[in-house]
Structure 1
Amino acid sequence: MKLCSFVILTILLRNISAANILIVGLLDSVSHRIWYEQLIGGLVEKRHNITLLSYADAKLKVDNYTVIKFDAKPQEIMDEIQIDIINNEISFLENLRQLWMWLTMTAEIDLKSDSLQTILDYPRDKFDLIIFEIFNGQHLYSLVDHFGNPPVIAISPMGLSPNILDAMGGHSFSYYPIYCSRYNDQMNLLQRAQNWIMYLIDNYYKWTNIPRLEILAHDKFGNDITPIYDIEKRIQILLANYDPILDYPIPLPPYIIPVGGLHTKRSTP
Structure 2
Amino acid sequence: MVIKYISFLILSVLNLAACSNILSLCPTASYSHQQSCLGIVQSLVKKGHNVTALASNPEILDPHPNLHIINMKILYDLYRKFEVENNFSVQKHLTPSDFFPPITNLLRIWTDAIFSSEVIQNMLRSKDTKFDLIIYEGLYPGLLAFKYHYNVPSIVVFTTPLYGALHFSMGNPVNPSYIPSFVTRFSDKMTFFERLMNSYYLLYEIYIHNYHSYPKMDAVMKKHFGNDIPSSKQLEMNNSLLILSGDLAQSYPMPLQPNTIQVGTLHLKPNKSLPKDLQDLMDNAKDGVIYFSLGSNMRSISLPEEKLYVFIKAFEQFPKIKVLMKWESDVEFPNKPANVYLKKWLPQSDILAHKNLKVFITHGGHQSRQEAVNYGVPLISIPLFYDQEWNAIKSFQEEAGLVVNFFEITYDKIYQALKELLTNDKYKRNMERLSTISKDKPMKNEETLTWWVEYVIRHKGAPHLRPAVQDLYWFQYTLLDIIAFILLLFFVFIYLIYFIVKKLLFSIRNKTKIKTQ
Runs of 4+ in structure 1 over 4 Å off: 7-12, 265-269
Q: Evaluate the alpha carbon distance shift between residue 194 and residue 216 of structure 1 in structure 2; reply closer, same or farther with a 3 A threshold.
A: same
Identify the match of residue 104 of structure 2 among 100, 106, 130.
100
Pairs aligned (count):
260
Q: Which moved more, 1:178-187 or 1:217-226?
A: 178-187
Q: Evaluate the alpha carbon distance shift between residue 36 and residue 204 of structure 1 in structure 2; reply closer, same or farther with a 3 A threshold.
A: same
1:24: which partner in 2? 25
Q: Evaluate the alpha carbon distance shift between residue 159 and residue 121 of structure 1 in structure 2; reply closer, same or farther with a 3 A threshold.
A: farther
2:209: which partner in 1? 206
Contact 1:21 1:131 survives alignment (8 Å): yes
Q: How far 1:225 moved relative to its partner? A: 0.8
Contact 1:83 1:99 survives alignment (8 Å): no
Higher helix fraction: Structure 1 or Structure 2? 2
Q: Distance in 1 between matches of 2:122 and 2:227?
A: 21
Q: How far 1:43 moved relative to its partner? A: 1.1
Q: Distance in 1 between matches of 2:246 and 2:12?
A: 36
Give TM-score, length-normalised by structure 2. Answer: 0.47
Q: Evaluate the alpha carbon distance shift between residue 266 and residue 65 of structure 1 in structure 2; reply closer, same or farther with a 3 A threshold.
A: closer
Q: How does 1:39-78 map to 2 (within 5 A)?
A: 39-58=40-59, 59-70=61-72, 71-73=74-76, 75-77=79-81
2:160: which partner in 1? 158
Contact 1:243 1:258 survives alignment (8 Å): yes
Contact 1:83 1:95 survives alignment (8 Å): no
Q: Distance in 1 between matches of 2:207 and 2:81?
A: 23
Gaps of 5+ in 2: 1-6, 274-517
Contact 1:178 1:195 survives alignment (8 Å): yes
Q: Evaluate the alpha carbon distance shift between residue 109 and residue 15 of structure 1 in structure 2; reply closer, same or farther with a 3 A threshold.
A: closer
Identity of aligned residues (%): 25
Q: How far 1:11 moved relative to its partner? A: 6.0
1:246: which partner in 2? 250
Give TM-score, length-normalised by structure 1. Answer: 0.86
Q: How does 1:1-269 map to 2 (within 5 A)?
A: 13-17=13-17, 18-58=19-59, 59-70=61-72, 71-73=74-76, 75-77=79-81, 79-80=83-84, 81=86, 82-84=88-90, 89-123=93-127, 126-136=130-140, 138-147=141-150, 149-174=151-176, 175-209=178-212, 210-265=214-269
Gaps of 5+ in 1: 1-6
Deviation by residue 1:232-267 (Cα, 9 ceiling, x = unmatched): 122111110121132122221121100121223465
RMSD of equivalent CA atoms:
2.6
Say which SS state the counterpart of residue 22 (structure 1) adopts. strand
Deviation by residue 1:53-98 (Cα, 9 ceiling, x = unmatched): 22232432122111112333254256434254x96x2432122212
Say which SS state the counterpart of residue 264 (structure 1) adopts. coil
Q: Evaluate the alpha carbon distance shift between residue 205 and residue 61 of structure 1 in structure 2; reply closer, same or farther with a 3 A threshold.
A: same
Q: Which moved more, 1:164-173 or 1:217-226?
A: 164-173
More RCO (CA 8 Å, sep 6+): 1
